[in-house]
Amino acid sequence: MKNLDTIDVKLNIWEHEGRTYEAIDLILNGEVMKGTFDVMYFAVPRMKKVEVYIRTCSCGVAGCADIWGGVIVKRRAKTVEWRDTDKSFPKKFYAFDRYYYTAAQDKALLLMRKIAEIREAKVIPKGDDEWDDYDGILGFSTVEGFEDCVSAVDSWLKRKPLDNAL
């Protein structure tokens, strides 16, 4: 199969005003995508067909104020296709090699777990949890919280109308 798109993710850690932030960047065809990437809704879905909000508002609410529309993700035998319903990506249609797409999803899950481990290892005084006031894209502060988020997203996606289990 030639002319397939490429997909990857990378860990992004930065400091701002004395606070450390962690995120995961989406890389399509070698380009880091600008804007907010909801890595959980990229990494978790393994259904045959589902509509998810891979691009979202920085508050973490998918589709907040109609900023982004969804992406219809369709798994085929050898490819995974994206149909961008809102032009939130450079192209309206993407086709990825299924093996490499799944590898990018697995990498995203590992990077989110790493972020959870980093956050869990921080010594934060009781009652002064710096994550209490943030409910955004990666709104977990422990490995258990990460695992709970993955489970909740998976359960929610399986109830959506477009879902067809593999």
DSSP 42: H
In a domain? residue 125: yes
Are 95 and 104 contacting, i.e. CB atoms less than 8 angstroms apart?
Answer: no
Instruction: Provide the domain limits for residue 114.
Output: 7-158
Q: Distance between CA atoms of 88 and 33, rounded to whole angstroms? A: 10
Of residues 16, 10, 11, 37, the one with CA closest to residue 130: 16
Of residues 10, 3, 15, the one with CA closest to residue 37: 10
Higher-confidence residue of 154 and 7: namely 7
> How confident is residue 23, by pLDDT bands cut at 50, 70 and 90?
confident
In a domain? residue 1: no
Q: Crossing angle of helices 98-121/143-158, nearest 10°?
A: 140
Are 157 and 163 contacting, i.e. CB atoms less than 8 angstroms apart?
Answer: yes
Higher-confidence residue of 87 and 155: namely 155
Q: Distance between CA atoms of 146 and 152, rounded to whole angstroms? A: 10
In a domain? residue 163: no
Q: What would the pLDDT profile of 111-140 be if each residue is shown by its tens digit?
A: 999 999 988 887 555 555 554 444 457 878
pLDDT of residue 131: 46
Q: What would the pLDDT profile of 62-118 be if each residue is shown by its tens digit?
A: 656 565 568 899 999 999 999 998 778 899 999 999 999 999 999 999 999 999 998
In a domain? residue 12: yes
In a domain? residue 131: yes
DSSP β-bridge partners for residue 49? 74
pLDDT of residue 73: 94
> How confident is residue 163, by pLDDT bands cut at 50, 70 and 90?
very low
In a domain? residue 165: no
The residue-averaged pLDDT of 45-68 equals: 75
DSSP per residue, 102-152 = HHHHHHHHHHHHHHHHHHHHS---TT--TTTT--STT---SHHHHHHHHHH
In a domain? residue 23: yes
Domain count, the chain: 1
